[in-house]
Amino acid sequence: MNNLKKAKSALISVFHKDGLGPIVQKFNELGITIYSTGGTEDFIKELGINVVPVEDLTSYPSILGGRVKTLHPKVFGGILARRENENDLVQLGEYEIPEIDIVIVDLYPFEKTVASGASEQDIIEKIDIGGISLIRAAAKNFKDVICVSSMSQYDEFLDLITKNNGSTSIADRKNFAAKSFAVSSHYDTAIFNYMNDDQPAFRQSFDTVKQLRYGENPHQKGFFYGNLEDLFEQLHGKELSFNNLLDVDAAVNLIKEFKGEAPTFAILKHNNACGFAQRDTLAQAYIDALAGDPTSAFGGVLIANKEIDEATATEINSLFCEVVIAPSYSESALQILKSKKNRIILIQKDIEFPNISYRSALNGVLAQDPNNITDTKEGLKNVTNRIVSDAEIEDLLFASKICKHTKSNTIILVKNKQLCAGGTGQTSRVDALEQAITKAKTFNFDLKGAVMASDAFFPFPDCVEIAGKAGIEAVIQPGGSIKDQLSIDYCNENNIGMVFTGTRHFKH
């Protein structure tokens, strides 16, 4: 314990005062001299504790409406002076600069101000200058100074100085220095991302990190960076796993396509829909979604676009599923669903999703705009002699939305707004189609009158030929192949309607 360093002075300049009182009381108990300014100084005085105004130290008042308070050599010299460096100590004496052993800062809430929808001027004023400078200086000189850089660290710091009677070790100070640079880098990233319009730079930072039980497999470590509480309220069940989170991500992006529509239910497994239906009631939508593939549904993720009621919950309860997601639940539905102790029950909140998506690749990161184009009736081009009916258009667009959120190469077969089957993640479109047809037959679907959606164009007419022979009567695809006419010709010869969207929906 001989490496402990006892603090004699502290500089405090914080935005949030919550939780600061006990620290100030402890400093007073330990005889630590406190320097402060502005609102923090007033707060300390109100506690009846002596505080030295920074203005008395620097002989300069707070100026420019509070923009300049602590930016002075007599402040930063006391923080940055190397205690083992004789020349530094001589200069401190020469210029009457006191050593500062503790720096406590809580920055202006820049991100909260941006999120509040405040004006640009208000946001700019919440860019902290003095605070961020104090953090960097104190963290740099961690050999002699301990830096508390956020109100989230108050409790940990108070425990430390209480236990050690105002002293800290080099390991303690380095630990807090690392936290400080995490705070400062996150803060600067938030400012950059607010200011940046078109600079091609990758800057992302998350203060919130959650260690998962493991990664994709038990031998892999896994973490989630971000705040899930912004998106979900968890009502019941175990913690979400790495694989759960991937499925939940796929589920919320898929169901978003059906927001505000009739009751819709989706069942996902390994990021792909294995069951999907839209009906007059949510219970019937669930029953028909499950019929699409009751085998794959085991252990899946379930999501609805409407409140889950008692009738729907009763149906769900007979299935082993990992996660259930909905915008709300009736009280009786919750009681039913909570009967399985590990079942994860989530309320999905209505928030904006990020406007860019990222993915690690090789030794870097791929970034792209989200696929925010959803095929619409107005965007369809009928390319065959047979004009698709209004009912077929509804099924085609329904199939297209599912197709957009299914791993490529993919083919989706739909009939009466029910997913009959999907061919997912195949190396050829023909394989995807044949997989879908086989699967539909396995679960006794009659494909006569069904429609087919493809995520990309058909390079040859083989897919429409196979589909036609299976009973498919209408097709939606992007078009754009140099051999499009061959597929059109086959459809014309066999009374199949086909529409082009002009938009490819690859998903890898």
Token duo for residue 80: 């940055």
Provide the Cα torsion 317, 323, 325, 329; round to 10°.
Answer: 40
Comparing CA positions, the residue from 209, 213, 143 lying closest to residue 176 is 143
Question: φ, ψ for residue 404 (rounded to 5)?
Answer: -60, -30
Cis before residue 409, ω within 30 degrees of 0?
yes
Per DSSP (E only), the strands in 284-380 are 300-304, 321-326, 344-348, 357-361, 364-368
Q: 10 Å Cβ neighbour count for 393? A: 20
Q: What's the Cα-to-Cα distance from 131 to each of 24, 174, 413, rounded to whole Å?
A: 18, 19, 59
List b or e across 71-84, with b for residues whose CB sees 16 or more CB atoms inside 10 angstroms: ebebbbbbbbbeee
User: Strands across the sheet with 232-236, in order?
Assistant: 232-236, 344-348, 321-326, 300-304, 264-269, 272-278
Token duo for residue 218: 């038990």
Which candidate in 16, 270, 338, 340 is catalytic?
270
270 is catalytic: yes
Token duo for residue 236: 């019941």
Give strand pairing partners of 347: 233, 326
Helix (H, G, I), strand (E, B) or coil at 408: coil
Q: Count the helix, strand and coil residues of the chain and give each as a percent rounded to the nearest 5.
A: 40, 20, 40
| Cα–Cα distance for residue pair 283/332, rounded to 1 Å | 14
Q: Name the amino acid, one letter, at 459.
A: P
Give ∠ CA 425-426-429 in degrees, rounded to 5. Answer: 120
Provide the Cα torsion 416, 419, 425, 431; round to 10°.
Answer: -60
Token duo for residue 38: 């502005």
Comparing CA positions, the residue from 363, 365, 388 lying closest to residue 377 is 388
Comparing CA positions, the residue from 57, 52, 53, 62 lying closest to residue 75 is 57
Which candidate in 140, 186, 210, 340 is catalytic?
140
| Residues recognised as catalytic | 140, 270
